[in-house]
Structure 1
Amino acid sequence: MEIAVRALMKNDWSSVSKIYKEGIATGIATFETEVPNWKQWHAKCLPVYRFVALVKGEVVGFAVLMPVSKRYVYKGVAEVSVYVANGFKGKHIGERLLKQLVDESEFNEFWTLQANIFSENIASINLHLKCGFRVVGIREKIGQLYGKWYDNHFLEKRSSKID
């Protein structure tokens, strides 16, 4: 299966929002309970660091970077977010997208990428470990969703290109 990766554009939002909705439905991908509109989502994500994966021209996954802080000292630190459509999980799409984010971030002088992943989301934790992230810690009962407390694995990847 050939996987193409390209920049995410506004006209991809219909497909991206559908994939995001699938992630919300799992209950272990995000604390969000509703898909935001394009304007809200666009405002949260760094514009240059948004990618979609395509199989036969169909958007089957996306990955973005989001700033962790507006303070200047954190300009080289971002949070990663990777989602793959239900019918395409386990086909290395998340890996391609995450590697693209890592490569682009290092080229543009990001020194740390972070991921906050539900402890139950073993596939996502393993994906990040495979792509060079390490577990920094576990944030216990960091958030509550529908009356249930959840822990998050906190992972990071330090750039190998920036001292």
Structure 2
Amino acid sequence: MKSTDWDQVSLIYQEGINTGNATFEKSIPSWNSWISTHISGCNIVARSENRVLGWAALAPTSKRKVYSGVVEVSVYVSEKCQGKGIGHALLRKIIELSENNGIWTLQAGIFPENKISIGLHQKCGFRVVGIRERIGKMDGIWRDVVLMERRSKKVG
């Protein structure tokens, strides 16, 4: 992912925000703000010619050194491109990149209503760790999040 991809990446991110079941976020940050919170070299896009079809990224879960190999994964696919294996390809590639960067645990927090995302993560070796009940409010309504993780068999 490059800064020149941000316009298209942010449109896909906005599609996810609009569903109400992809993220607690309500607005798109600037490229500089977003990239400063993600791991360099672990932010990717799927593209066809000059069109971004989806993206995946890794962000640290903590600043503490002991958790340096534990990160949060995000995967978003354009509404027009869903159901074509793009999310699966992105998640497989980001897993590979994570292991190449010494990361041993990938975490994902997914709304229980987002069954497609939960299934995708399970297909790629994630397991449900538990439900974080009433973890955050969205539009004044408490929301649960399914906490999933994938432990590397190569790192850690």
- Shorter chain as denominator, the TM-score bin is over 0.9
Matched, 1:92 2:85: yes
Aligned match of 1:26: 19
2:120 aligns to what SS in structure 1?
A: helix
Moved more, 38-47 or 14-23: 38-47
Query: Which runs of 5 or more residues in structure 2 are unaligned?
Result: none
**TM-score, scaled to structure 2:** 0.97
Matched, 1:52 2:45: yes
Instruction: Give the counterpart letter for 1:160 in structure 2.
Output: K
Aligned match of 2:28: 35
Matches within 5 A, 1:72-83: 72-83=65-76
Instruction: Give the counterpart letter for 2:65 in structure 1.
Output: Y
Matched, 1:10 2:10: no
**TM-score, scaled to structure 1:** 0.93
Structure 1 runs (4+) greater than 2 angstroms displaced: none
* CA apart distance, 1:39: 1.3
* CA apart distance, 1:109: 1.4
Amino-acid identity (%): 51
Tell me, in whole angstroms, the C-alpha distance in 1 between the residues paired with 2:3 and 2:14.
Answer: 17
The answer on whether the counterparts of 1:106 and 1:159 sit within 8 Å (CA) in structure 2 is yes
Tell me, in whole angstroms, the C-alpha distance in 2 between the residues paired with 1:66 and 1:146.
Answer: 25
Matched, 1:135 2:124: no
Matched, 1:154 2:155: no
1:44 aligns to what SS in structure 2?
A: coil
* CA apart distance, 1:50: 0.4
Instruction: Give the counterpart letter for 1:96 in structure 2.
Output: A
2:35 aligns to what SS in structure 1?
A: helix
Tell me, in whole angstroms, the C-alpha distance in 1 between the residues paired with 2:71 and 2:125.
Answer: 15
Aligned length: 156
Tell me, in whole angstroms, the C-alpha distance in 1 between the residues paired with 2:60 and 2:149.
Answer: 14
Tell me, in whole angstroms, the C-alpha distance in 1 between the residues paired with 2:82 and 2:34.
Answer: 23
Q: CA RMSD in A?
A: 0.9
